Amino acid sequence: MTKIAVFGAGTWGIALARLLAANGRDVTVWSAIPAELKSLSTTHRHPNLPGMELPAAMHYTADIAEACTGRDILLFAVPSPFVRATAKKAAPHIPEGQLIVDVAKGVEDKTLMTMSEIIEDELAKAGRKARVVALSGPTHAEEVARDMPTAIVAASADEDAAKAVQKVFTTPTFRVYTNDDRRGTELGGAVKNVIALAVGIALGLGYGDNAKAALITRGNAELSRLGIAMGCKAETFAGLSGMGDLIVTCTSMHSRNLHAGMLIGRGKSVEEAKTEVGQVVEGINALPAACRLAKQYKVEMPIVQAVEAILDGKLEARSALMALMGRSLKRE
């Protein structure tokens, strides 16, 4: 039986843990918060995933050494701001050549590393190497938890590692594709959250479907330009982890980034919006890195820069979005 440890007891980690356990995998969930583990182990439910029941066979631990020992796969599902700290804590206990899957989405502001690169960086400091695969795509936890049809991408330059993840994670309702563009896959998962903030702001201002479609489409153009400049493959951004993830994050009311943007568009401060959403808003965390990458690679990203101006209080939301409409005319 395939043994998997899931780091993180948030909605995405627990939705995947349930999916894996329900399909015959031996699953252990690790969390740094003992109260989370106690609640999950006694109620077999997650407060933010109504209607989902966790298999009784799942295990729980607050001991990271135990979580790392004897596992076929380690699944990193902590929010992006905590990936480095978790990887650092786990690194001394991770065996050489371990297969690791990361599902957190973001780019670290200080280093401009993706989440997989952060994990590799912390392992290197501990003198270890691992096979790290990014698993990303249009995947709301609320739907995966209810076994609704979903498609996702396992990305790694190591084809055997990507195929191993594909085999373990695929179920009748969860279809996994592979590609070899891990950086492009992760970049799509991070920057799409910033575009979703822009869409949410537009909706909060009362704009309609035309504006939404324009921001999604032109947002994908910005993402593609940046990715190609960084050496990623253009086709990645037309696929599940690019346009697919962008569509679901910019159109679904499950989306925390869309929700936060709508609140900001209605006049809430960034902190008020974060508090009301009640969960990590990854687009706010990814924004500084996206802006720095655009500057470093000399890529024009007006939507991302407009979101930055709004969140920094440099421009009122309506003025910033209308400024996008007033830019010089050009060929698509």
DSSP string, 165-217: HHHHH-BTTEEEEEES-HHHHHHHHHHHHHHHHHHHHHHHTT--HHHHHHHHH
Q: Domain residues of the chain, as ranges? A: 3-180, 183-325
Would the annotation count 139 as a binding residue? yes
For position 279, what pLDDT does the model report? 86
For position 163, what pLDDT does the model report? 98
As annotated, the active-site residues are 192
Residues with Cβ within 8 Å of 248's Cβ and at least 6 positions away in sequence, in order, are 138, 139, 140, 255
Residue 169 identity (one-letter amino acid)? F
Would the annotation count 200 as a binding residue? no
Residue 80 identity (one-letter amino acid)? S
Tokens 């991302």 — which residue? 304
Pick the CATH number of 3-180 from 3.40.640.10, 3.40.50.720, 3.30.9.10, 3.40.50.1100: 3.40.50.720
For position 185, what pLDDT does the model report? 98
Would the annotation count 245 as a binding residue? yes
Would the annotation count 9 as a binding residue? yes
Residue 328 identity (one-letter amino acid)? S
pTM: 0.94
What are the pLDDT digits (tens) for 164-177?
A: 999 999 999 999 99
Residues with Cβ within 8 Å of 17's Cβ and at least 6 positions away in sequence, in order, are 4, 6, 27, 29, 54, 58, 75
Residues with Cβ within 8 Å of 85's Cβ and at least 6 positions away in sequence, in order, are none
**Domain covering 183-325 assigned CATH 1.10.1040.10 in the classification:** yes
Distance, in Å, from the CA atom of 86 to the CA atom of 293, rounded to the nearest integer, reads: 25
What are the pLDDT digits (tens) for 10-42?
A: 999 999 999 999 999 999 999 999 999 999 999
Would the annotation count 30 as a binding residue? no
pLDDT beneath 50: ranges in the chain: none
Cβ atoms of 126 and 119 within 8 Å: the answer is: no
33: tokens are 């918060």
Would the annotation count 10 as a binding residue? yes
Closest CA to 90 of 58, 122, 127, 129: 122
What are the pLDDT digits (tens) for 187-238?
A: 999 999 999 999 999 999 999 999 999 999 999 999 999 999 999 999 999 9
Cβ atoms of 87 and 123 within 8 Å: the answer is: yes
